[in-house]
Amino acid sequence: MIDNYRAFEAGPDPFGATWQVEFRWSQNAISIRHADTIDVKFEITSGDLHEEKIIALPHKDLLKASHETDQLFTDPWVHRIAAAHLRKMVESGDDIEKTLITLNYDTILGYAESLRPAIAARH
């Protein structure tokens, strides 16, 4: 799992490229898209290629996953889930052509489950 979601390396992608990833911001999308999600924006760079990716996490699904995994619903927790998905996107090539990617509950829960041991070990 990604400890430093603010700056990390992802890849190689299906074409062998490694990407530098930088966290830019997160915000409640109600104000910008009228969506009940938390949007987490990253910039990814590989050589001369530069792209923006926004991972949208539905609020109700985050609340449910937080409760089911007994983890606090914090900004770093949400950012780590988004970063883990972005890394998977880069490495698999899935949805990599999209700028805005909305996660479903099962995907969020899977990342939340994988975060649980890392969070428990820090306490």
Q: Is residue 115 a part of any domain in this protein?
A: yes
Amino acid identity at 59: H
The continuous run of DSSP H or E covering 53 comes out as strand 49-58
Q: What is the pLDDT of residues 112-121, one digit of tens each?
A: 999 886 555 5
Q: What is the pLDDT of residues 74-95, one digit of tens each?
A: 999 999 999 999 999 999 999 9
pLDDT, residue 121, reads: 52
Q: Is residue 23 a part of any domain in this protein?
A: yes
Range of the domain at 81: 7-122
pLDDT tier at 100, thresholds 50, 70, 90: very high
pLDDT, residue 119, reads: 52
pLDDT, residue 123, reads: 46
Q: Is residue 111 a part of any domain in this protein?
A: yes
Q: Is residue 1 a part of any domain in this protein?
A: no
Q: How many domains does the chain have?
A: 1
Residue 9, C-beta contacts closer than 8 angstroms, at least 6 positions apart: 18, 19, 20, 21
What one-character DSSP code corresponds to residue 75?
A: H
Q: Is residue 2 a part of any domain in this protein?
A: no
Please give the Cα distance from 102 to 56 (Å, whole number). Answer: 4
Q: The whole model's pTM is what?
A: 0.90
Q: Is residue 95 a part of any domain in this protein?
A: yes
Q: Is residue 53 a part of any domain in this protein?
A: yes
